[in-house]
Chain A
Amino acid sequence: QQPVQSPQAVILREGEDAVINCSSSKALYSVHWYRQKHGEAPVFLMILLKGGEQKGHDKISASFNEKKQQSSLYLTASQLSYSGTYFCGTGGDNYGQNFVFGPGTRLSVLP
């Protein structure tokens, strides 16, 4: 089942912060975050696993609440290069078959 992302879209000024949320109705083992710029392929940002393990970019942080089946991506002091669509992908224990991407959150950072 596809995770839900909120907000659908957000507009920021350079230097402002944003939070993008991802929630699922099923128990999660992992949450992945990707960013896609217009006309390009998605690019990896973060992975968070049940149990607290995570990896990703130094300048981006995220959280994973296993009990609530929710994850949040925190973008602080946003830069123009942060503009794009952010997708979360969620999976249960059967990684390949159950991995599903959310509908995306469109982020626009203005000068």
Chain B
Amino acid sequence: NAGVTQTPKFRILKIGQSMTLQCTQDMNHNYMYWYRQDPGMGLKLIYYSVGAGITDKGEVPNGYNVSRSTTEDFPLRLELAAPSQTSVYFCASSYGTDPLAYYEQYFGPGTRLTVT
């Protein structure tokens, strides 16, 4: 198993540009998450998904959009990039059976994004 994979690893965007961060998992997990981590800080949840076709906002969703058309893929879209979106973005996945909180999250290697 490759686990959770993310592309690209690094990206530099100009203010106002858009891009999509890709995330794929091959563990058949139904829960998937997007986090951002600013330098020296903790992880903040952007969006999460409980299965294909179902997504919901996390703590910091503004400026981002997601979709989940398959179990494996959970892309994150940045529209009109701003310097405040400079961060490391982690995708994660977990099983989603009762009790949900019993299952650990598996993280991808991250995408380091700089907006200038």
Contact = CB atoms under 8 A, between A and B. Distances in A.
Given A55-B102, A96-B31, A41 B110 contact: yes
B31 A2 contact: no
A41 B41 contact: no
B6 to A, nearest CB: 9
A82 interface: no
A103 B42 contact: yes
Contacts of B90: 41-42
Interface residues of A, number: 26
Most buried by A among B33, B35, B48, B101: B101
Interface string A81-111: 0000001010100011101111110000000
Interface string B21-47: 000000000010101000001111100
Interface of B: 31, 33, 35, 41-45, 48, 50, 56, 58-59, 90, 99-110
Interface of A: 2, 29-30, 32, 34, 40-44, 47, 49, 53, 55, 87, 89, 91, 95-97, 99-104
